């Protein structure tokens, strides 16, 4: 095993998988009620502890799985012919089981079927024995609870969620039979929705119906830690054999019929010691990988920051030269490409991405001319003249702008805001496509799976969409989604629901594509996050919030050049990201193949 790890160390420590945003990872239970077993979470690919925890240590996860697989097959440590064979252990267990029945401490057990030839493994190590779980372990059910029995004080009530995801505990004052309690050192198994074995070290507790207590008939004949490792190794198989659609669960009858491969007791101890040793090695490898990824992420961000912090063109050129010289070393993960993208956006809104053209009309001239035109035509709007523009304080200007740019509050550009149509629609009217949050993909409108809404015809114009309209996500549970800007490339023949605010400008002072870039940049995102209103788990922004945003505005022609350059560079970033993802997939396949080869 040590030789295997040495040969394939590079692949095992570099194979990482992007962490899915969906689902929930295992959390530690409440400190007051710890789960005590060696290697908590092992075999599940714990996420690396990088700043955003975007990756899982896939290769090391596979290595852990391999260690357990070899352990329970008898391939991890050598067999010793001098060990007392497992057959003797089983005889002792059966004798103890009979004694418990005779003494009335155990009810007679229902007979289990003989192990058929089809169920036999291809090779059973010398001295090992096959046995059905129910023959040597009493599978005890916990108790289901009614809501009024779940209290805020009393004896802790252990539920499956407390083992995996939840720190919210309930308690009970019920007096129950002894087998409904667990205590330190007890082997338990969660069997509904989330699966897995645990050796409990949280003191006396009541365990829920969705947890089994695995009570050994004769604890002197079996090493609980070996059983823990055995059940960990077959948990995915147990889960796959479960019932249920909404929530997978295992039956007690099927659990009792599981076949265990039992080694001699001395070998059980040796297996546990070797697994502990190798798992500790995996922990070290994973920590090294974590440290490497964190250091890499910090290095990339530090070097990218030198671009945004450059005081002049010469300093910027020097900073970019450093990055360019090491580009292939720095941008090797999807996360680093995302960092590069955000830096490009920041450079764009700072006036550092494309050169300024002195022939461009300064934006201040356009603002002044627009104000005078309004005054001349007698149309009074929200846009104020040059002297009446809202005062922008020094702390609202995070960086120095080029001379022909201007800091402007969106409200000073006469924005036209309109909240969307109610998702309930009207009782009568015309049926029309309505854009929902589900129709936004990668901050763009997608028409792959749209819905329609019945709405009064006179209301359609109010909520209609035109090319270059900008939709702002008004409400969502995620702070990363609320306040995002989405450009409408066309009218779509659609309206939009009340999860959005539509934003238009009556005159071309802000190019819609540039406005969307502003909305993606940290300049705007950081400010929007300070404006959220949180209610019942939802975060919202309103028209006043958006209007108060201070943005950097370049000349019109430069806005167009910036949008074109960002589109070009983002396409290159996406292509590089796709190549990295393909290489990452190849690494994962290699890790799988190596493990399969080792087990075969």
Query: Cβ(482)–Cβ(532) under 8 Å?
Result: yes
Among 554, 569, 587, the domain-final residue is 554
Establish if 341 belongs to a structural domain: no
For residue 89, tell me if it sits in a domain. yes
Q: In this predicted structure, what is the pLDDT of residue 282?
A: 87
Distances in whole angstroms, Cα of residue 277 to Cα of each of 41, 124, 426 = 16, 24, 67
Cα–Cα distances in Å, from 140 out to 152, 181, 478, 525, 532? 26, 10, 42, 53, 50
- State how far the Cα of 493 lies from the Cα of 490, in Å rounded to an integer: 8
The DSSP-derived string for 556-570 is: HHHHHHHHHHHHHHH
Euclidean distance between CA atoms 59 and 581, whole angstroms: 15
For position 403, what pLDDT does the model report? 92
Count the Cβ atoms, other than its own, within 10 Å of residue 543. 18
Burial group, residue 453, by CB count within 10 angstroms (0-12, 13-18, 19+): buried
The burial of 375, by beta-carbon neighbours within 10 Å (0-12 exposed, 13-18 middle, 19 or more buried), is given as exposed
For 548, half-sphere exposure in the C-beta direction (CA atoms, 13 angstrom radius) is 13
- Domain assignment present for residue 578? The answer is no
Predicted local confidence at residue 302, as pLDDT: 94
The tokens describing 213, both together, are 């207590």
Rounded to whole angstroms, how far apart are CA atoms 333 and 300? 11
Is residue 88 within 8 Å of residue 13, measured between CB atoms?
A: no
Q: What are phi and psi of 501, to 5 degrees?
A: -115, 130
Domain membership flag for residue 150 = yes
Domain range for residue 263?
Answer: 27-285+595-599
What's residue 22's pLDDT?
35
> Are 213 and 88 found together in one domain?
yes
Q: Is residue 197 part of a domain?
A: yes
CA angle, 182 as apex, 177 and 183 as ends, to 5°?
125
Distances (CA, A) of 70 to 126, 128, 212: 15, 14, 26
CA distance 196 to 189: 6
Cβ(283)–Cβ(57) under 8 Å? no
Q: Are residues 182 and 92 in the same domain?
A: yes
Task: Return the closest-CA partner of residue 554 out of 411, 395, 396, 347.
Answer: 347
Distances (CA, A) of 469 to 432, 503, 513: 18, 6, 10
Instruction: Return the pLDDT at 167.
Output: 86
Buried b (16+ CB within 10 A) or exposed e, 130-152: ebbbbbbbbbbbbbebeeeeeee
Q: How many CB atoms lie within 10 A of CB 354?
A: 17
Please give the pLDDT value at position 388.
58
Helix axes 224-240, 58-72, angle to 10 degrees: 110
Angle, helices 556-599 vs 334-350, to 10°: value is 170
Burial (CB < 10 A; 0-12, 13-18, 19+), residue 195, is: buried
**What are the distances in angstroms from CA 220 to CA 89, 93, 229, 268?**
9, 9, 18, 12
Report field, pTM of the whole predicted structure over 0.95? no
pLDDT of residue 329: 86
What percent of the chain is helix, strand and coil (3-state, nearest 5)?
A: 45, 20, 40
Euclidean distance between CA atoms 590 and 600, whole angstroms: 15
Pairing of strands 430-435, 494-496: parallel
Alpha carbon of residue 483 to chain centroid: 21
> 273 and 387: one domain?
no
Q: Please provide the DSSP assignment of 17-83 as one string.
A: EEPPSSS----PPPTTS----TTTTTTS-PBP--TT--EE-HHHHHHHHHHHHHHHTT-SS---TTS
Concatenating the DSSP letter of every residue in 230-281 gives HHHHHHHHHHHT-B-SSS-B--HHHHHH-EEEE--HHHHHHHHHHHHHHHHH
Cα-based distances in Å from 581 to 13, 18, 278, 337, 432: 17, 9, 30, 11, 39
For residue 47, the model assigns a pLDDT of: 30
Count of structural domains within the chain: 2
Q: Is there a domain that residue 314 lies in?
A: no
Same domain, 265 and 414: no
Based on the domain organization, do 169 and 36 belong to the same domain? yes
CA separation for the pair 213, 139 (Å, rounded)? 6
The H or E element containing residue 447 is none
Tens-binned pLDDT, residue by residue, of the chain (600 aa): 556 655 655 655 666 666 644 332 333 343 333 444 443 433 333 333 333 456 677 778 888 888 898 899 998 999 999 999 999 999 999 999 999 999 999 988 888 999 999 999 888 999 999 999 999 999 999 999 998 999 999 999 999 999 988 889 999 999 999 999 999 999 999 998 889 999 999 999 999 999 999 999 999 999 999 999 999 999 988 888 766 555 567 889 999 999 999 999 999 999 999 999 999 988 988 888 888 888 988 999 999 999 999 988 899 999 999 999 989 889 988 899 999 999 999 999 999 999 999 999 999 998 888 777 767 765 444 444 444 567 899 999 999 999 999 999 999 888 999 999 998 999 899 999 999 999 999 899 999 999 999 999 989 999 999 999 999 999 999 989 999 999 999 989 999 999 999 999 877 889 999 999 999 999 899 999 888 888 888 999 999 999 999 999 999 999 999 999 999 999 999 999 899 888 877 777 776 776 666 555
- The predicted pLDDT at position 9 comes to 58
Q: In what order do the strands lie in the sheet with 451-455?
A: 451-455, 430-435, 494-496
Question: Do 267 and 397 belong together in one domain?
Answer: no
Look at residue 392 and tell me if it is in a domain: yes
Q: Which residues make Cβ contacts (< 8 Å) with residue 388, sequence separation at least 6?
A: none
Rg of the chain taking only CA atoms, in angstroms? 32
- CATH number of the domain enclosing 264: 3.90.220.20
Is the domain of 369 the same as that of 249? Answer: no
Domain limit, last residue, from 521, 536, 554: 554
Full DSSP string of 135-180: HHEEEEE-B---GGG-BSSSEEEE-HHHHHT----EEE-----GGG
| Residue from 393, 398, 300 nearest 341 by CA | 300
Residue 162's closest CA among 228, 210, 225?
A: 210
- Is 154 contained in some domain? yes
Q: Are 388 and 269 in a shared domain?
A: no
């Amino acid at each position: 095993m040590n030789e295997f790890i040495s040969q394939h160390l590079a692949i095992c420590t570099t194979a990482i998988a992007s962490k899915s945003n969906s689902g929930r990872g295992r959390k530690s239970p409440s400190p007051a009620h710890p789960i005590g077993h060696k290697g908590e979470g092992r075999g599940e690919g714990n996420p690396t502890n990088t700043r955003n925890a975007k990756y899982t240590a896939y290769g090391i996860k596979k290595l852990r799985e391999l260690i357990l697989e070899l352990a329970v097959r008898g391939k991890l440590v050598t067999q010793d012919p001098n060990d007392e064979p497992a057959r003797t252990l089983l005889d002792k267990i059966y004798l103890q089981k009979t004694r418990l029945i005779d003494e009335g401490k155990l009810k007679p057990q229902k007979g289990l079927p003989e192990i058929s030839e089809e169920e036999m493994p291809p090779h059973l190590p010398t001295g090992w024995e096959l046995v059905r779980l129910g023959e040597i372990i009493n599978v005890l059910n916990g108790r289901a609870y009614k809501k009024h029995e779940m209290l805020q004080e009393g004896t802790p009530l252990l539920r499956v969620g407390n083992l995996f995801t939840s720190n919210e505990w309930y308690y009970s004052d019920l007096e129950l039979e002894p087998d409904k309690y667990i205590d330190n050192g007890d082997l338990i198994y969660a069997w509904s929705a989330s699966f897995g074995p645990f050796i409990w070290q949280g003191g006396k507790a009541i365990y829920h119906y969705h947890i089994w207590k695995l009570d050994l008939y004769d604890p002197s004949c079996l090493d609980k830690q070996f059983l823990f490792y055995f059940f960990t190794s077959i948990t995915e198989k147990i889960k796959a054999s479960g019932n249920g659609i909404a929530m997978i669960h295992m039956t007690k009858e099927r659990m009792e019929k599981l076949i265990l491969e039992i080694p001699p007791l001395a070998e059980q101890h040796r297996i546990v010691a070797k697994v502990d040793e190798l798992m500790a090695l995996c922990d070290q490898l994973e920590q090294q990988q974590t440290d490497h990824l964190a250091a890499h992420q910090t290095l990339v961000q530090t070097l990218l920051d030198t671009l945004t912090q450059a005081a002049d063109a010469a300093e910027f050129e020097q900073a970019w030269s450093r990055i360019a010289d090491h580009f292939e070393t720095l941008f090797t993960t999807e996360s680093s490409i995302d960092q590069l993208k955000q830096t490009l956006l920041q450079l764009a809104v700072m006036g550092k991405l494309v050169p300024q053209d002195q022939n461009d009309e300064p934006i201040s001239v356009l603002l002044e001319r627009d104000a005078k035109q309004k005054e001349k035509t007698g149309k009074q709007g929200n846009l104020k003249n040059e002297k009446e523009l809202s005062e922008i304080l020094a702390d609202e200007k995070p960086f120095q702008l080029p001379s022909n740019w201007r800091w402007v509050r969106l409200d000073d550009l006469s924005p036209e805001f309109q909240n969307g149509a109610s998702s309930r629609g009207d009782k009568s009217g015309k049926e029309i496509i309505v854009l929902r949050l589900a129709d936004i993909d990668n901050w763009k409108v997608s028409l792959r799976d749209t819905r329609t809404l019945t709405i009064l015809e006179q209301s359609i114009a109010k909520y209609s969409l035109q090319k270059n309209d900008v939709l702002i996500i008004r409400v969502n549970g995620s702070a990363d989604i609320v306040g995002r800007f989405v450009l409408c490339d066309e009218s779509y023949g659609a309206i939009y629901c009340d999860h959005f605010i539509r934003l238009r400008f009556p005159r071309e002072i802000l190019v819609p594509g540039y406005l969307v870039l502003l909305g993606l940049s940290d300049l705007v995102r950081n400010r929007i996050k300070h404006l959220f209103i949180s209610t019942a788990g939802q975060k919202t922004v309103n028209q006043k919030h958006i209007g108060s945003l201070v943005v950097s505005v370049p000349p019109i022609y430069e806005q167009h050049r910036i949008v074109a350059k960002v589109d070009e560079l983002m396409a290159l970033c996406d292509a590089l990201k796709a190549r990295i993802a393909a290489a990452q997939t190849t690494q994962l396949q290699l890790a799988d193949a190596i493990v399969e080869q080792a087990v075969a």
